[in-house]
Amino acid sequence: MSVPENNMKIENRVKRKHCPGARDMFGLLRAGCLAACCAIVFVALLTGCATTNSGGRELPPLLAQDELLRPYVKMAVVEVNREQFGDVYELKTEDYDWAYQALREEAAKIGADAVILPEIKVEATSYIFFPSSNVNGRGTAIKFR
């Protein structure tokens, strides 16, 4: 046996000795990566289903009293509410944005031209260890004559 063949056998033995650990490590990494990808897809599907569609139609605007230049008829009072649990010590502008958007979507469902007098009320409460926030919105859906 020549010297280069002997070196090759030693290298092969070293590689075989370290390969099973490497395979286990990569196997775990692959399984962890697969689990993470599945979790991301699952969350994306849940949040994707939570959005609403106005049917391709433009949503009615929110108008102030001084913006009403034409006569109108009151159609209905639309109300929306949402309760969130978790760390809600800071109320954010997204809460107000959600309420305004939800009012517009509800008015669009009944065929309104606009929403007037929107009122948004956001409250944060805590029950022992369970903080929560309530977002309530109310507005009047109108139809122009």
Q: What is the pLDDT of residue 108?
A: 94
% of the chain surpassing 70 pLDDT: 58
User: From start to end of 68-129, where are the E strands?
Assistant: 72-85, 114-127
| 7-40 residue pLDDT tens | 555 555 545 444 444 444 555 555 666 676 666 7
Half-sphere exposure of 82 (CA within 13 A, CB side): 16
Binned at pLDDT 50, 70 and 90, residue 144 comes out as very high
- Rounded Cα distance between 52 and 20, Å, is 50
Topology annotation, domain 62-144: Translation Initiation Factor IF3 (3.30.110)
